[in-house]
């Protein structure tokens, strides 16, 4: 009798272990709203950028064809790209000119250049923004 009770107790353990709750799937990223002017990107003609009120580009836009909104002030609803992806940056840092000078440059100039300088020059990498919907706000852009 003891053997049967012991056998039934061991048989119930795997069944109890199978009743674990399913893992929760992470919620998709909450949508973000950006406001600005849609501008055709001159560097890559089929692409668009979002410019702020001063006319400076702030984001590279993906996800929708925004050809009909070029030159208009809009509110974009979307998500930034997944930042958990592996990304590689290559090249001479902070730039080829500073890297080539080695130690023959004033340390304060090298520090300023390494920190990004006083203003971006050359090939500036804008953050991507995946557009889900567009709402025209009326009015033109600078």
How far apart, in whole angstroms, are the C-alpha atoms of residue 32 and residue 80? 8
Does pLDDT of 55 surpass 80?
yes
Q: Are 129 and 52 in contact (CB under 8 A)?
A: no
How far apart, in whole angstroms, are the C-alpha atoms of residue 73 and residue 35? 7
How far apart, in whole angstroms, are the C-alpha atoms of residue 119 and residue 113? 10
Residue ranges covered by each domain of the chain: 29-140
Q: What is the DSSP letter of 126?
A: P
How far apart, in whole angstroms, are the C-alpha atoms of residue 95 and residue 98? 6
Q: Are 104 and 72 in contact (CB under 8 A)?
A: no
What is the value of pTM for the model shown?
0.53
Give the three-class secondary structure for 97.
helix
Length of the chain: 142
- 125-140 burial, b at 16+ Cβ within 10 Å, e below that, comes to eeeebbbeebeeeeee
- Convert the pLDDT of each residue in 65-122 to its tens digit: 888 888 889 999 988 766 566 666 677 666 677 667 766 777 777 777 666 555 555 5
Q: What percent of the chain clears pLDDT 70, i.e. is strictly above it?
A: 58
pLDDT at 7: 55
- Convert the pLDDT of each residue in 11-40 to its tens digit: 655 555 555 555 555 555 678 889 999 988
Fold held by 29-140? OB fold (Dihydrolipoamide Acetyltransferase, E2P) (2.40.50)
Q: Are 48 and 129 in contact (CB under 8 A)?
A: no
């Amino acid at each position: 009798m003891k053997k049967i009770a012991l056998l039934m107790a061991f048989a119930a353990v795997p069944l109890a272990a199978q009743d674990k709750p399913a893992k929760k799937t992470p919620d998709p990223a909450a949508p973000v709203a950006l406001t600005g002017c849609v501008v055709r990107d001159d560097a890559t003609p089929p692409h668009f950028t979002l410019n702020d009120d001063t006319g400076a580009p702030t984001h590279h836009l993906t996800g929708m064809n925004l050809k009909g909104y070029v030159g208009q002030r809009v509110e974009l609803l979307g998500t930034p790209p997944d930042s958990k992806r592996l990304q590689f940056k290559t090249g001479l840092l902070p730039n080829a000119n500073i890297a080539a000078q080695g130690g023959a440059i004033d340390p304060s100039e090298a520090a300023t250049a390494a920190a990004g300088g006083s203003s971006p020059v050359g090939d500036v990498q804008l953050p991507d923004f995946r557009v889900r919907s567009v709402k025209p706000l009326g009015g033109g852009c600078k």
